[in-house]
Structure 1
Amino acid sequence: MSDEAVFVYDPDELKYFFNNEHPFNQKRLRLTVDLLTRFGALSSEAIVTPRRASDSELLLVHNSDYINAVKALSAPSADPALLQLAEKFGLRTEDTPFFEGMHDATSHLVGGSLTAAELVLEGKAKRALHLGGGLHHAMSNKGAGFCVYNDASVAITHIRNRCGFRVLYIDTDVHHGDGVQWSFYTEPEVCTYSIHETGKYLFPGTGLVNERGDGDGFGTCVNMPVEPYTEDESWLHCFQEPLESIFQAFKPDIIVSQHGCDAHAFDPLSHVHCSMRIYLQMPLIIRRLADRYCEGRWIALGGGGYDMWRVVPRAWSLLWLVMSDHPLIGSLETEPDSKLPRDWIDAWQPDSPVKLPEAWLDAVGRWSPMPRRREITAKNLHTKDIAMLYLPKK
């Protein structure tokens, strides 16, 4: 198996676009690729162009009625008679409105995650990153939460069908990875682990600590809901300890992870108060465990993240720097003020409505401390202990 990491990307993935007012903006992919390129950390040789998913591949997760509805609603001028169909399938909401070219654009994102999976399965890379993926809210027969097709569930099913690997899915988006969880809720060979803001206050309202799987899949669903205003130390502790125990108990053959970066304090759609530190440490933890248990096999996907100027490019770039063994990662602990490329800041500042950060990590020492820190930390620790009561077995 090649030890190289690959970066699956095509500018056409920016065509997954709802409207100008929508918070899900794939321009963040351009910003990330440009940051990595200007930093000298992404060569053209590392980039692999994704293919599109076929209908038969989409049918691994989605039913035919839903796929046909997505196709019909993708026309340049959707027939008004189809509006009721859009409502039925969750594609006429403020969150997930249908748009022209929707089927083709989303099939491209699913194909990117399949491309990443195949590169790892075929031994052409140990690690593959597809930032255009991570649409974890889509259900078998319904769009939801900015997601039309569920590329993560399709890729996991493809992996299972192709080689029978035991798959550990890790979801670090601030919103619960509900679509992937329900896809494999009774499947003993797929374990889903999601750390997210509690659904008491945030979409989609699921991901309770007592959602543990069903039937033969009992124990293969682990949820770690954290409290609003959770900060770095508590988040990382509640992420790492359950994950290490899951690896030991489940012994996966391959990792598929989702890297929404909306648990950051700057994100406008959530209430968790973490810094860029978790986006450095979290991929380091995953990589260490993947190397120990899975011969390094790791497929990473994108996801949420709605401060596309100050947060997403840095968080996703740090993920790639970890996956590709960039020397910056080893120096950030001792040099936390390491600067972003000046030419990237100068190129994008005129477009940004906010001042762009100058360093890779945040100067959290200047942030105001969160009230109720002790109570929040104690609540998270209690939830973590409950989450770890039942763990998957091999």
Structure 2
Amino acid sequence: MTNRAAFIYSEELLKYKFSNHHPFNQFRLKLTVDLLNRINALHPDQIIPPRFATEDELKLIHDPSYIEAVKKAGNGQLPQGIAENYGLGTEDTPIFSNMHEASSLLVGGTLTAVDEVMSGRVLHAAHLGGGLHHGFRGKASGFCVYNDSSVAIKYLQEKYHARVLYVDTDAHHGDGVQWSFYDDPNVCTLSIHETGRYLFPGTGNINERGQGAGYGYSFNIPVDAFTEDESWLHAYTNAIREIASFFKPDVILTQNGADSHYYDPLTHLSTTMKIFREIPKLAHEIAHQYCDGRWIAVGGGGYDIWRVVPRAWSMIWLEMTENSNCYGSLPHDWVNTWQKEAPVELPKDWDDPENLYPPIPRKTEITEKNLLTLDKALYPIRNQQKSS
């Protein structure tokens, strides 16, 4: 094994683009890769270009008629009335040219990461262009055309017969992945997200626990709006440790949306870079504890592409490669280069200042509410431990 980790990337991934004004902007990938390059943390021999997912691979999750609709839409051949039945051509998920090809490459990137890890060539793989967790079997949703994580999990099951723990820390509920495996006891999903009372997609309640043979294998922790670092990390740390101990996976797939940050324009949480240090650190620990190190990380949401995403996603790769060069000042040349294009003032340091935002008036109430939510979410595991 020449490398412990693989980084799946090509600038072709930037072709997944709805418009110049859409909040989902894959330019954040370029910013992240440039940041890693400026600190000499990403070497050419670690970078593997994504491949296209085949139609048969897409069909592991997606309906053939939907795949055809995506193809036609990307070629300008799908009438608007029909497109909307498939969730295409909406404000969230507009049609763009060659949509099928761009989306297939994104899925193929996650499958590339899977094969690198499961073949034993590397222990860990990151595909930050992936993580589109809202896509459904026959419908686009929430900026997601195809659901790369769902396809990858099915691929992991069919090709490698693996039990998969899927951990989703995006501020939005990982609904598409949850529903794909809701009745499957060999896939365990954990989503910690902002409560759906105020945020798309409105799902991810504590009582969504799975169905049939899959009952008890879906876990949701909907934290309250304005949740801060300490409360968020308490929920995440306890949940991932207890669920991993309960499920004992063969591989861990993490979705790393960076939209729980205070700066994010689409969400209402109040976390800082502190959580984005801890998220990959704990995933890494769990991977080695239960999965012989097998860990695949994908991206996801993250709509402050200048101040948040590059730092947060760099932390994943730096953790995978056990590189501690992520403290103190950001590289001046990175800041100076991109400040010319950024519409906001770029951060100067890896970490956020302590006084990033004014004190939250409901802190105690929010913290207590999240403790109760965590307890209810993990009740089946904790109750089982007591009775045994």
Same fold (TM over 0.5): yes
SS of residue paired to 2:29? helix
How far, CA to CA, are the matches of 1:40 and 1:357 in structure 2? 20
For residue 245 of structure 1, the aligned residue among 236, 242, 245 is 242
How far, CA to CA, are the matches of 1:353 and 1:365 in structure 2? 22
How far, CA to CA, are the matches of 2:287 and 2:356 in structure 1? 35
Q: Match of 1:114?
A: 111
Q: Match of 2:43?
A: 43
**Contact 2:239–2:378 at 8 Å: present in 1 too?**
yes
SS of residue paired to 1:161? helix
**Contact 2:61–2:150 at 8 Å: present in 1 too?**
yes
The alignment status of 1:341 with 2:331, answered yes or no, reads yes
Residue type of the alignment partner of 2:233: L
For residue 289 of structure 2, the aligned residue among 292, 297, 302 is 292
Structure 1, 356-365 or 101-110: larger mean CA deviation: 356-365
Spell out the pairing of 1:365-380 with structure 2 (5 A cutoff): 365=355, 367-380=357-370
Q: Match of 1:356?
A: 346
Structure 1 length normalisation: TM-score? 0.95
Residue type of the alignment partner of 1:361: D
How far, CA to CA, are the matches of 1:287 and 1:369 in structure 2? 32
For residue 321 of structure 2, the aligned residue among 311, 324, 336 is 324
The alignment status of 1:204 with 2:204, answered yes or no, reads no
Spell out the pairing of 1:42-121 with structure 2 (5 A cutoff): 42-75=42-75, 78-79=76-77, 82-121=79-118
Residue type of the alignment partner of 1:384: L
TM-fit CA distance, 1:366: 5.0
SS of residue paired to 1:328? coil
Structure 1, 360-369 or 212-221: larger mean CA deviation: 360-369
Spell out the pairing of 1:300-315 with structure 2 (5 A cutoff): 300-315=297-312
Residue type of the alignment partner of 2:270: H
Q: Deviations over 1:160-198 (max 9, x none)?
A: 001211100000000000000000000000000000000
Structure 2 length normalisation: TM-score? 0.97
% identical equivalent positions: 53
For residue 270 of structure 2, the aligned residue among 273, 292, 310 is 273
How far, CA to CA, are the matches of 1:346 and 1:321 in structure 2? 22
SS of residue paired to 1:243? helix
Q: Match of 1:335?
A: none
How far, CA to CA, are the matches of 1:195 and 1:170 in structure 2? 8
**Contact 1:2–1:126 at 8 Å: present in 2 too?**
no
**Contact 1:8–1:49 at 8 Å: present in 2 too?**
yes
Q: Deviations over 1:202-228 (max 9, x none)?
A: 000000010000000011000000000
TM-fit CA distance, 1:3: 5.7
For residue 160 of structure 2, the aligned residue among 136, 143, 163 is 163
Q: Match of 2:25?
A: 25
CA distance 1:366–1:146, change in 2 (3 Å): closer
For residue 139 of structure 1, the aligned residue among 136, 140, 144 is 136
**Contact 2:39–2:325 at 8 Å: present in 1 too?**
no
**Contact 1:9–1:130 at 8 Å: present in 2 too?**
yes
How far, CA to CA, are the matches of 2:113 and 2:244 in structure 1? 22
TM-fit CA distance, 1:2: 6.1
SS of residue paired to 2:254? strand
SS of residue paired to 1:144? coil
**Contact 1:2–1:123 at 8 Å: present in 2 too?**
no
Between the two proteins, the alignment pairs up a number of residues equal to: 383
TM-fit CA distance, 1:364: 2.0
How far, CA to CA, are the matches of 1:32 and 1:366 in structure 2? 22
Residue type of the alignment partner of 1:138: G
Q: Match of 2:4?
A: 4
**Contact 1:136–1:177 at 8 Å: present in 2 too?**
yes
**Contact 2:86–2:139 at 8 Å: present in 1 too?**
yes
TM-fit CA distance, 1:365: 3.6
How far, CA to CA, are the matches of 2:6 and 2:354 in structure 1? 32
How far, CA to CA, are the matches of 1:92 and 1:103 in structure 2? 14
TM-fit CA distance, 1:20: 1.1
SS of residue paired to 1:229? coil
The alignment status of 1:187 with 2:177, answered yes or no, reads no
Residue type of the alignment partner of 2:37: T
SS of residue paired to 1:224? strand
Q: Deviations over 1:243-301 (max 9, x none)?
A: 11111110001001100000000000000000001000111011111111111100000
Q: Match of 1:384?
A: 374
Q: Deviations over 1:322-372 (max 9, x none)?
A: 01110225xx4xxxxx00000001110010010000000101245321110
TM-fit CA distance, 1:389: 1.2
**Contact 2:114–2:296 at 8 Å: present in 1 too?**
yes
Structure 1, 125-134 or 91-100: larger mean CA deviation: 91-100
SS of residue paired to 2:379? coil
